[in-house]
Amino acid sequence: MTLKIHQDHSRFKQIVRGKIKANLRKYVQKGEMIGKKGKDAISIPIPFIDIPRFKYGHKEQGGVGQGEGEVGQQLGPGAVEPGEGHQAGQGEGDHALEVDVTLEELAQILGEELSLPNIERRHNEKIVTQKIRYTGINTTGPESLRHFKRTFKQALRRQIAAGTYDPARPVIIPTREDRRYRSYKLQDLPETNAVIIYMMDVSGSMGDEQKEIVRIESFWLDTWLRHQYKGLEARYIIHDAVAREVDRDTFFHTRESGGTMISSAYKLCRDIILADYPKSAWNIYPFHFSDGDNWSADDTRQCIEMLRNDVLPNVNQFAYGQVESPYGSGQFIKDLREAVGDTPNVALSEIADKDAIYASIKDFLGKGR
């Protein structure tokens, strides 16, 4: 059955989508959205979707409330919620509307707005897993799968039909024939597997702002790649003079003070790929972020060698993002550009500040690899 409202509802969703699209650049720069990420949806505050009116500012207005408390006592947070119903004519509300958008939809919008090409999968052969789905009811099965409700219903039905059901004493006794069991089917689930390996320089010269940029950037990269591949894994490596693998949380919140030896990270990255992600089965995306201030030219040479020989042949695309910091020389990206800049599966991007994130996402994902 369709309701009339669904037309208005889809129109509303269309408008929301348009708003998000129009303001995408702003959302991309803002970090706070990431915190609102749920399992597969994210709520986005939409400005000005409510209709402007001549009205009082709510803070200006104040109001009358009811309850305990001394004069001067603060009302708890959330106590005053303008715009909630049940307030006879007491102002309408300043709250921005929060709209839930699925990550899938967000990725689509991102793709449309940045005109990102769909990724050409390197591996078309799919890994197939099988999954058990409980879809039906059967008259036989193990007791552990007995469907209590259906069994009861069946027994009730039989007793009523047989005339042995007594409403005054409603005792139902299921017999062997009444028993119902869940039955399952095996389903083939096609899976294309991809892994992102994030690497970040956490040496002293990478400040909070630089890390924030990486965090925002990684959110959008995740969103897009997740849209492109089902089953995306992520690994995190931090490094200063030495590299180690960490979990996501540590990745974004660690600050070290040491020097920078990028080769340590690339070495670990190589080892992870070799150990866990055979080229034949995985789409592999290393992303490295740094302020580009490597320890020595010698180390840089090592890095390039490792990239050429061990990393690039195995991955879909290697991406390096250089975040500008007041301390870094920014030499590394120049060296990379010179050495591997022409290689098709290398993406390099300089990210000056939050405004530049938008463009750099395009740098990274625009190649469609």
Residue 218 has a CB neighbour count (10 Å cut-off) of: 22
SS3 of 183, please? Answer: strand
Nearest in space to 224 (alpha carbons), one of 88, 75, 365, 358: 365
We find the least distance from the C-beta atom of residue 216 to other proteins, in angstroms, to be: 27
We find the least distance from the C-beta atom of residue 38 to other proteins, in angstroms, to be: 12
**To 10 degrees, the CA torsion angle through 358, 362, 365, 369?**
180
- Report yes or no: 331 and 360 within 8 Å, Cβ to Cβ: no
- Report yes or no: 299 and 233 within 8 Å, Cβ to Cβ: no
Q: Which residues of 19-52 are buried (b: 16+ CB within 10 A; e: fewer)?
A: bbeeebeebbbeeebbeeeeeebbebbbeeeeee
Q: Residue 67 or residue 142: which is nearer to other proteins going by CB? A: 67
We find the least distance from the C-beta atom of residue 295 to other proteins, in angstroms, to be: 47
We find the least distance from the C-beta atom of residue 168 to other proteins, in angstroms, to be: 18
We find the least distance from the C-beta atom of residue 41 to other proteins, in angstroms, to be: 11
We find the least distance from the C-beta atom of residue 183 to other proteins, in angstroms, to be: 29
Q: Residue 3 or residue 186: which is nearer to other proteins going by CB? A: 3
Q: Residue 49 or residue 160: which is nearer to other proteins going by CB? A: 49
Q: Residue 63 or residue 368: which is nearer to other proteins going by CB? A: 63
Binding site for other proteins (CB under 8 A): 1, 3-5, 7-15, 48-49, 51-77, 79-81, 84, 86-91, 94, 97, 99-100
The residue behind tokens 């958008």 is 101
Q: Residue 72 or residue 167: which is nearer to other proteins going by CB? A: 72
Q: How far apart, in whole angstroms, are the C-alpha atoms of residue 236 and residue 249?
A: 9
Token couple for 163: 């005339």
For residue 350, the surrounding DSSP H or E stretch is strand 346-351
We find the least distance from the C-beta atom of residue 79 to other proteins, in angstroms, to be: 4
> CA angle, corner 261, sides to 258 and 265, nearest 5?
110
Q: How far apart, in whole angstroms, are the C-alpha atoms of residue 110 and residue 237?
A: 27
Q: Residue 79 or residue 128: which is nearer to other proteins going by CB? A: 79
We find the least distance from the C-beta atom of residue 149 to other proteins, in angstroms, to be: 18
Q: Residue 89 or residue 167: which is nearer to other proteins going by CB? A: 89
- Report yes or no: 172 and 155 within 8 Å, Cβ to Cβ: yes
Q: How far apart, in whole angstroms, are the C-alpha atoms of residue 343 and residue 292?
A: 20
Residue 259 has a CB neighbour count (10 Å cut-off) of: 15
